[in-house]
Amino acid sequence: MPPVVPPCDDGIETPLRWCRMTQRRQSSKDTAVIRRVLVPTDFSPGADGALRWGTVLAEKFGAELVFLHVLDLSLGALAGLPSAVAAIPAVDELARLVRAEAADGMAKLASRYSKARTLILEGSPRGVILQVAGEESGSLIVMGTHGRSGLSHVVFGSVAEHVVRHSRAPVLTVREEELA
């Protein structure tokens, strides 16, 4: 039992009890450190909310902000089919146009978000996002999700769902805002 101290001079004459508070030192496992906020984007409206959230979180945590666009240059992906369906390399001219379009999209983002570092990489979006996030501990992934369901979800799959299921880094998904 804590010791009882003499009554305080607040006029109430109520004895105060001395409580010793112990403060536990936080171990490194108790502390979440976010050094980098990775925001994968496909430049779609579904990615806009993630861009905003990622920017705010990077600012609040004092973290580096990285925008990532992954070019899937398989012919199936360029035709709008999922990567798993057709992994035929794209025709050179079409690949050049897609690269130029991605560079233009990233330049627009860089002008809107001047503190962000931008990356354009080639490969499967699922694998590349996980690889980039895994390169540095302390990463947080913030990504948009289109909210597909039914046959569309079965056919196209979900990059966001795959990243959430397989990432060692925490993932915040931001659903595409529906137009009223």
8-state DSSP, 83: T
**pLDDT level of residue 94 (50, 70, 90 thresholds):** confident
CB of 95 closer than 8 Å to CB of 146: no
Q: Which residue has the tokens 């990567």?
A: 83
CB of 36 closer than 8 Å to CB of 66: yes
Spatial neighbors of 17 by CB under 8 A, at least 6 apart, are 2, 4, 5
What pLDDT score does 20 carry? 44
- Asked whether the predicted pLDDT for residue 61 surpasses 90, the reply is yes
User: Closest Cα partner for 139 from 110, 172, 174?
Assistant: 172
Spatial neighbors of 179 by CB under 8 A, at least 6 apart, are none
**pTM, full prediction:** 0.71
Alpha-carbon gap, residue 70 to 147, rounded angstroms: 20
- Asked whether the predicted pLDDT for residue 80 surpasses 90, the reply is no
| pLDDT per position as a tens digit, 151-176 | 545 544 588 889 999 999 999 999 88
Alpha-carbon gap, residue 175 to 17, rounded angstroms: 52
User: Closest Cα partner for 2 from 21, 28, 23, 30?
Assistant: 21
8-state DSSP, 14: P
In the chain the domains, ranked by start, together with CATH numbers, are 33-175 (3.40.50.620)
Q: Of 49-53, 81-85, 89-93, 115-119, where does mean pLDDT reach its minimum?
A: 81-85
Average pLDDT over residues 72-89: 57
H/E element holding 144?
strand 139-145
| pLDDT per position as a tens digit, 3-45 | 555 555 444 454 444 444 444 555 556 667 899 999 999 998 8
